Structure 1
Amino acid sequence: MRTFGKWLGRILLFLVLSAAVLYAWKREEIHRLLAVNTLFSEEKIVSNFSNMNAAFLTREVDRGSGPVSKIPKGEPAAMPAGLSQWVEDRAVTGLVVLKHGSLLHESYYKDTSPEDLRISWSVAKSYLSALFGVVVAEGHIESLDDPVTKYAPKLIGSAYDRASIRNVLQMSSGVTFDEDYLDYNSDINRMGRVLALGGTLDDFAASLKDTFVEPGSQWQYVSIDTHVLGMVIRGATSRNVAGLLSEKIIQPLGYEQSPYYVTDGAGAAFVLGGLNISTRDYARFGQMFLQHGMYGGQQVVPADWVAESTVPSAKTATDALQYGYQWWMPKDAREGEFFGIGVYGQYIYINRPLGVVIAMNSADRKFKEDGVTDTNIAMFREIAEGL
C-alpha cells in the first residue's frame, strides 16, 4: 500500500506540474477561451461588450491626428412614451439620435458612458462594405463578378471556389455554415474558439468544404462570408484592413476615439464583428451614409456604392428582412431606409427621407426572440417620425 501511495502521489504531482506548465505556456489562450465561454453571461455581458480588449487580441484603427468632427446640438427631442420600457426590455446601453446632422438625444444606461468603445458585432459588416466600395472605386478590384479566389487564392478548393464577390457581398455564397449561437458545436461557435485560441480565420474559411446551393441562387446569412470579403480586400490591396479602414473611413469622419478590431492569431481583423467604437462615432458613420457617402465636405464613400449597397438586391424571402451589400432593409423596404445590425442589439439605423440617424448599443440576451427586430425597427420609426 505504501508503494502504491508513493506512485499515486508521484502521478498526482506530475499531473499538477504538467497542468502548471501548460497554463504558463498557454495562459493567454486559456484566458481568451474562458472569456468566450462567459462572454454573454448575464452578470458579465454589459462589461464585456465595453471591454473586449481585456480578453482578446486587438489592433487599433487609428483615428489620426485631425480634429474631432463637431456634432451640433439641437433642441432636445421628445421621445416616444414607450421609450423607457423599450430601453429596459432591450437592455439598451447607449442611444444616440441625430436629425439633419444635429444631436437631439443621447442617453447611456447600465453604468456605461459615452467614452465606452462598444463591440459592433455584425454592424462591422456594414463598415467593411463601405471600405469595399472605396477599394472598388480605386480600381483594386476589377469586377464584383470576379471569383473571390482571384484575390484570395487560399480559398481555391474550398466551398468558396465558385462564388463571386457579388455572391458573397449579398450573403448568397451557398456555403454551408451553422449560425446558431446557442449550439456549442455550431460553425459560428467553432469560429469563436479559433479566434480565442489564436488560430487564423483564413485557415478556418479555407477549411469549409460544403455548399447547400449554387452560389448566387439563394440568400442565407453566413457570417464567415464577410471574412472572405476581408481576404479579398487584403489580397487586392496588399494592405491590412485596419490600416485601410483608418485611412479611408475613420480619419475622414473625425472620430472622437481610435476604434479597435478584435483580431485572430495572425493579426487579421475580425471584420465580421470585431469593431469597437463609441455610440456617437457609430452615429457619425450613419450620418455619412445618410449623406450619400459625403462627410465634412469630402466624398468618403462613392455615392454610387452607397446607393447600390443599401437597396434590396439579394434573393431574400418576400416576407423577411431585405438585404443588399452587407446592409439590411426592413421587410416593407422603403426608399432611403436601411440599417446595420449586430447580435445582442447593435444598430445603425438610417432614415434618409426624414434625415434621421439612430445609433444603438445593447446587451440584449433576448435578441433572438420572435418579433424583437420588428419591435426595434418600429421604435426607430416612431422616434424618427416624432422628431
Structure 2
Amino acid sequence: MWHWLKRIGIALLALVVLAGGAAVWKREEIGRLMAVNSLFAPEKIVANFSNMDLAFLNLPLTEGPGAPLPRGADIPLPDGAEAWIAERDITALIVLHDGAVTHESYHLGTGPDDLRISWSVAKSFLSLLTGILVADGALTLDDAVTDHAPDLAGTAYDGATVEDVLQMESGVAFDEDYFDPDSDINRMGRVIALGGALDAFTAELQERVRGPGEAMQYVSIDTHVLGMVLRGATGRSIPDLMAEKLARPMGLGPAYYVTDGVGAAFVLGGLNMATRDYARMGLLVEQMGRIGGKQVVPADWVAKSTLPSARTAPGKMRYGYQWWMPRDAKRGEVMAQGVYGQFVYIDRTRDVVIAVNGADLGFRRDGVSEANIEMFRRIAAAQR
C-alpha cells in the first residue's frame, strides 16, 4: 500500500510541476494577448508605443549609439503648429533642412531616447532593403512570390510576383479594419500575441478579390509576404539583412523588431527606434539613397520606388513600392506613414524631412490626413 501511495504521490507531484510550467508559459501568452487588447487604450497608448519590448517578443536590429545628426539654426514652427501637435497627440516632431536639425521637440512625457513603434513606416524601410537586394542580384521584381516562398504555393498568393506585393496589388482578400476585433489584421495581432507563426497564418489565406497586378488595395499582409520572399531569396533573417545592408551603414541608433513566436520579424509594422532615426531614414531618401558620404541604397531604386506607380483609385492618395504620395503630390514629395500618427515626410525640392511619432486615436477621422499633409507643407515652406 505504501509503495502504491508513493507512486501516486510522485505522479501527482509531476503533474503539479508540469501544470506550473504550463501556467508560466500560458501566463506569458496571456500577458501578450492582454497587451494587444489594451494596446490602444487612451490611458496607455503613449507609454505602450514607447515600450513594445515589454509586451512582445522582439529581436535587436542595432544596439550601438548611432551617428549624430547635424544641428542647424532653430527655425520656428508656423502658426497653428502647436495646436496641431496637441490635437493630433503628437509625441515627437523633428524637422531637418539641408540635412541638419532645425526643430526637435517631444511631448506627452516622451523623450529623445524613447524607441517608438513605427507601425507601417516599417514598410518603407523594407522597400529600401528590397532595392538593395535587387541590386545585389538576390531576386528580381518579376520573380513569382512562390519562387522564394514555396509555402505559399496553392494559396491566394500563388501567381503573384514580387512587384505585385510591393505595389499592394496581390489581389488577396484581407480585412484591414483596426477597429473590428474580428478583422484579419486583428486576428494577425492575436497570432503574434499567442506565439504563433505569421508564415503559417499567411499560408492559410485562400481568397482573392481580384487578380494579381490589377487595382491596388492596401493589405498589410502583402508586406509580410515580401519579407518571406527576402528571407527565402537570401536564407537570412530580416533583422540580420537590415542591420548589415541598411541600418548600420546609415548610422542607425538602437532599434529592434517585434517578432512572432518563431522569431520572424513583424516587418509590416514592428520596427522600433528613436524619432531621430526615422528622420535619418527620411534624410537618406531625400538624398537619393546617400548618407554620411556613402551610397547605401541605389539611387535608381529610390527614384523608382518613390514615384506614384501603383494602380490607386482616382482621387485617392497615390502609392508606389511601399511609399505614399499625396493625391496632389508635388515633384519630390513622398511619405512613409503608419497608423496612429507615424510619419516620415520628404520634400526634395525644399531639402526638408519631417519625422513624426504620435498616439492619435483620431487618425482616421475625415479630414485628418489632409490636415496633416497641409501642416507638413507649411512646416517645409517655413524652412528658408
Fold match by TM threshold 0.5: yes
Measure the CA separation in 2 of the matches of 1:188 and 1:228: 14
1:141-160 equivalences under 5 Å are 141=139, 143-160=140-157
> Mind listing any 5+ residue stretches in structure 1 that lack a counterpart?
1-16
Partner of 1:384: 380
1:113 correspondence with 2:111: yes
Alignment of 1:96-175 (within 5 A): 96-141=94-139, 143-175=140-172
Matches within 5 A, 1:186-201: 186-201=183-198
Aligned to 1:290: 286
Structure-1 separation of matches of 2:150 and 2:362: 39
Q: How does 1:1-387 map to 2 (within 5 A)?
A: 23-63=23-63, 68-141=66-139, 143-255=140-252, 257-387=253-383
Contact 2:124 2:323 in 1 (8 A): yes
State the TM-score, normalizing by the size of structure 1: 0.93
Q: Aligned-pair distance for 1:88?
A: 0.7
Q: Which amino acid in structure 2 is aligned with residue 99 of structure 1?
A: H
Kept after mapping to 2: 8 A contact 1:351/1:357: yes
Equivalent position amino acid for 2:382 in 1 = G
Distance 2:329 2:82 in 1: 27
State the AA in 1 paired with 2:269.
Answer: G
Once the two structures are superposed, what CA deviation does each residue of 1:131-183 show, in whole Å capped at 9, x if it has no partner? 00001000000x21111000000100110001111111000100000000011
1:175-210 alpha-carbon deviations (Å, 9 max, x no partner) = 000000011110000000000001000001111000
Task: Check conservation: 1:316, 1:323, Cα contact below 8 A.
Answer: yes
**SS of match in other structure, 2:79:** coil
What amino acid sits opposite 2:81 in the alignment? L
> How far 1:23 moved relative to its partner?
3.3
The CA deviation at 1:100 is: 0.6
Using the aligned pairs only, state the percent identity: 58
Q: In 2, distance between residues paired with 1:250 and 1:281?
A: 9
Number of positions where the alignment pairs a residue of Structure 1 with one of Structure 2: 368
TM-score (structure 2 length as normaliser):
0.93
Distance 1:22 1:228 in 2: 32
CA drift at 1:373: 1.1
Q: Is the 8 A contact 1:63 1:251 kept in 2?
A: no
Asked whether the equivalents of residues 124 and 274 of structure 1 are also in contact (C-alpha less than 8 Å), the reply is: yes
Distance 1:114 1:296 in 2: 21
CA contact (8 A) 2:254 2:274 kept: no
For residue 70 of structure 1, report the CA deviation from its aligned partner. Answer: 3.0
Is the CA contact (8 Å cut-off) linking 2:66 and 2:254 kept in structure 1? no
SS, match of residue 252 in structure 1: coil
1:209-236 Cα offsets, whole Å, 9 max, x none, are 0001011111100001000000000000
Contact persistence 1:99–1:355 (CA under 8 A): yes
Match of 1:3 in 2: none
Residue identity opposite 1:277 in structure 2: M
Distance 2:71 2:22 in 1: 55
Provide, for residues 311-368 of structure 1, a one-character-per-residue CA deviation record: whole Å limited to 9, x for no partner.
Answer: 0110001200000000000010221100000000000000000000000000000001
**What do the CA deviations read for 1:16-52 (whole angstroms, capped 9, x no partner)?**
x999775333111110000000000000000000000
CA distance in 2, matches of 1:20, 1:236: 42
Structure 2 CA distance, aligned partners of 1:280 and 1:90?
20
Residues 99-138 of structure 1: CA deviation (Å, up to 9, x unaligned): 0101100000001000000000000000000000001000
One-letter amino acid of the counterpart of residue 319, structure 2 = Y
- What CA distance in whole angstroms lies between the structure 2 residues aligned with 1:18 and 1:193? 25
**Counterpart amino acid of residue 315 in structure 1:** R
* Shift of residue 75, structure 1, vs aligned partner: 1.2
State the superposition RMSD in angstroms: 1.6
In 1: Cα distance, 2:128 partner to 2:218 partner: 19
2:12 corresponds in structure 1 to none
Asked whether the equivalents of residues 63 and 254 of structure 1 are also in contact (C-alpha less than 8 Å), the reply is: no
Contact 1:169 / 1:226 at 8 angstroms: preserved in 2? yes
